């Protein structure tokens, strides 16, 4: 049976949050997928974000893929992760209203992964921790042409995936963030920041992780 697809326009603090939804008729959970930096062309159409979304649809989740502020039909302006994190909590509230109190998975790519570390912290502090996080190409430390990203601490079972040849967010940045957290990092040899020709490896890593 084909997943149900719809486009939501959710009211957020800065205006509409345009959100793609794809879900089986009886989802096992809710997966929120966040895209890369909006000031560098990031949107929910990004190939890595799309790979994350399609993988979680395959695993039976209701997947919500919002556009950050100022992208597509989403209102507002880029807020360096602060307002974006607040918006993602609003999207999750709407997801729970639609699908019920299901387990929540947070997934993100690049700036979207950074935002998800903030969302995960907010959920944990509210007593509603995420079931798991999947962070790909996480923006951490100094990123040339952007700024310094203070990625938050995450749970030890977080799945962190990074490319060995990432020149946008060097692997060393992520290792520096992960080391004090005792957090394993799955490194894809030869992969650049956008995982050209290696998207299927991201999918396979997630599927193998979820089958354990």
- Write the secondary structure of 75-131 as one string of H (helix), E (strand) and C (coil): CCCCCCCHHHHHHHHHHHHHHHHHHCCCCEEEEEECHHHHHHHHHHHHHHHCCCCCC
62: left (phi over 0), alpha (psi -120 to 50) or beta: beta
Give tens-digit pLDDT for 38-93: 999 999 999 999 999 999 999 999 999 999 999 999 999 999 999 999 999 999 99
pTM: 0.96
User: Percent of the chain at pLDDT above 70?
Assistant: 99
Supply the pLDDT for residue 2: 67
Q: Which domains does the chain have, with CATH numbers?
A: 4-210 (3.40.50.1820)
State the average pLDDT for the chain: 95
pLDDT at 212 over 80: no
Q: What is the pLDDT averaged over residues 160-183?
A: 97
Which tokens go with 21?
A: 């939804």
């Amino acid at each position: 049976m084909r997943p149900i697809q719809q486009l939501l326009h959710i009211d957020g603090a800065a205006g509409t949050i345009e959100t793609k939804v794809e879900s089986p008729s009886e989802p096992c959970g809710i997966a929120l997928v966040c895209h890369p930096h909006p000031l560098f062309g990031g949107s929910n159409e990004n190939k890595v974000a799309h790979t994350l979304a399609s993988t979680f649809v395959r695993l039976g989740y209701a997947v919500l893929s919002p556009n950050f502020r100022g992208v597509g039909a989403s209102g507002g302006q880029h807020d360096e992760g602060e307002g974006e994190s607040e918006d993602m909590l609003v999207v999750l509230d709407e997801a729970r209203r639609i699908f019920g109190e299901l387990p929540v998975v947070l997934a993100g790519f690049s700036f979207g992964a950074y935002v998800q570390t903030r969302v995960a912290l907010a959920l944990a502090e509210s007593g509603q921790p995420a079931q798991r996080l999947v962070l790909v190409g996480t923006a951490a430390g100094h990123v040339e042409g952007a700024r310094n990203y203070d990625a938050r601490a995450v749970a030890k079972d977080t799945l962190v995936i990074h490319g060995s040849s990432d020149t946008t967010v060097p692997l060393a940045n992520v290792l520096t963030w992960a080391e004090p957290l005792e957090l394993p990092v799955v490194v894809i040899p030869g992969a650049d920041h956008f995982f050209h020709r290696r998207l299927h490896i991201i999918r396979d890593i997630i599927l193998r992780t979820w089958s354990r």
